[in-house]
Structure 1
Amino acid sequence: MIMTDVRRATSADIEPAADTLAAAFTGYPFIRHVVAADDHERRLRALQRLFLVEIGLAHGAVWVTDDRGAVAVWTTPDTDAAAAFGPIADRAAELAGDRAGTSARVEQALGPHRPTGPTWFLGAVGVRPDRQGQGLGSAVIRPGLDAADEAGVTAYLETVGERNVRLYRKLGFEVTARVELPDGGPSAWCMSRPPHAG
């Protein structure tokens, strides 16, 4: 296992962090389901950059490894979802292309399973393919979990793929719901982690 320093992201990290997230999510079944196939890689990177800049850096928290080979983007209990997501909704739908309707229905399907109280929500975590298997994903997730523990609030995420479920269980998450995504999409697992004392 190769470890590296983890730190809060700054504006200087935007482009390499967006590259990492795009590389990590290439071929991910969830993304394939909600983002148009035409010009897919450009759309994917633009969506990841939009989320990183307009949600994570502007309204939440982002951690990166020093080489930006791993990135975690969170919303926090202080994030005003309407103020954060409202202004980018049209751009996100445009980038989703002909999958915009499906993307909206996926959000509707997952919405009832999301926590309603104060939550640290792990919106995206990605590790560059050539750095996977080195513990970097857990390393960039850990500061958000520590912050949730310190605040005494739940951490939450949604994932696709049973391998991911096993990885998140090692970090203390448990499955709260399994959702068959609409329009023939994959299964998604909603996972929650209660705050840990000390």
Structure 2
Amino acid sequence: MGVRVRRADGRDRDQVVRILEEALHDDPVSSWVFPDEEHRRAVHGAFLGVFADITLAGGRVDLLEDGTAAALWFSVPAGAPEGGGDAPARMREASDPGNERAELVGRLTGAVHPHDRAHEYLLLIGVSPERQGEGLGEALIGGVLDRCDREGVPAYLEASSERSRGLYERLGFTFVGRTVDLPDGPSMWPMWREPQNG
């Protein structure tokens, strides 16, 4: 697929947040964190903005040049938690201080995140709704996965739906065997990808 990917910087922050907000508005996890749609529309951007800020400061944000998709990555060293300080508390404070779910989702996923081996962590990916299903997400993350394969580095993510789990399985990710079950809400699927040869 002939897409052009570039590394985003601080000037792209608002565009990255807009892409994520549009792409993830109806995501099962976002809908669980902010069950009232009108309220979600009001605070979701601030919530996702914390992800963007942390990743722009200490990770890597890849952006399709046409502005239709963004992927947020961290290089996670062995034995250390991913960067960003107390990100779950920051997410809650920045978006919806009275909403425990805005912090809990980060705490639950953080508790199962593997740290025994260095890896690339796909924190979030979003494709504009009108472009979903065209292979843009795969094209966007393909460069990082190709580098993982060349350098012998695994990758990790949490799929937030059965559909996304299937997409990631096609890219070589496998479910680690235990879901993250949000209280009275959806499950998330932690997935690991060993580097591929050929």
Query: In which range does the TM-score fall when normalised by the shorter chain?
Result: 0.7 to 0.9
TM-score, normalised relative to structure 1: 0.85
Equivalent pair of 2:43/2:96 in contact (CA under 8 Å): yes
For residues 193 and 82 of structure 1, the distance between their equivalents in structure 2, rounded to whole angstroms, comes to 17
Aligned-pair distance for 1:58? 1.0
Residue equivalent to 1:175: 175
Aligned-pair distance for 1:72? 0.3
Residue equivalent to 2:33: 34
For residues 108 and 136 of structure 1, the distance between their equivalents in structure 2, rounded to whole angstroms, comes to 30
Instruction: Give the SS at the match of 1:12.
Output: helix
Residue equivalent to 1:56: 55
| Alignment gaps of 5+ in structure 2 | none
Aligned-pair distance for 1:68? 1.5
Aligned-pair distance for 1:144? 2.1
Amino acid at match of 1:65: L
For residues 16 and 106 of structure 2, the distance between their equivalents in structure 1, rounded to whole angstroms, comes to 24
Aligned-pair distance for 1:169? 0.8
Residue equivalent to 2:92: 93
Residues 39-98 of structure 1: CA deviation (Å, up to 9, x unaligned): 312321112222112x22111111111012000001113597475233x55431121444
Residues 8-56 of structure 1: CA deviation (Å, up to 9, x unaligned): 1122221112101000011111112224636312321112222112x22
Residue equivalent to 1:155: 155
Residue equivalent to 2:21: 22
Equivalent pair of 1:3/1:135 in contact (CA under 8 Å): no
Q: Which stretch has the larger CA shift, 74-83 or 10-19?
A: 74-83
Equivalent pair of 2:88/2:106 in contact (CA under 8 Å): no
- Name segments (4+ residues, structure 1) moved above 4 Å: 78-83
Q: Which stretch has the larger CA shift, 70-79 or 57-66?
A: 70-79
TM-score, normalised relative to structure 2: 0.85
Aligned-pair distance for 1:104? 4.0
Residue equivalent to 1:142: 142
Amino acid at match of 2:166: R
Amino acid at match of 2:71: A
Aligned-pair distance for 1:156? 0.5
For residues 183 and 162 of structure 1, the distance between their equivalents in structure 2, rounded to whole angstroms, comes to 18
| Alignment gaps of 5+ in structure 1 | none
Percent of counterpart pairs with the same letter? 32
**Cα RMSD for the two superposed structures:** 2.4
Amino acid at match of 1:119: H
State the number of aligned residues.
194
Residue equivalent to 2:185: 185
1:13 has 2:19 as partner: no
Aligned-pair distance for 1:182? 3.5
1:72 has 2:71 as partner: yes
Instruction: Give the SS at the match of 1:141.
Output: helix
Amino acid at match of 2:56: L
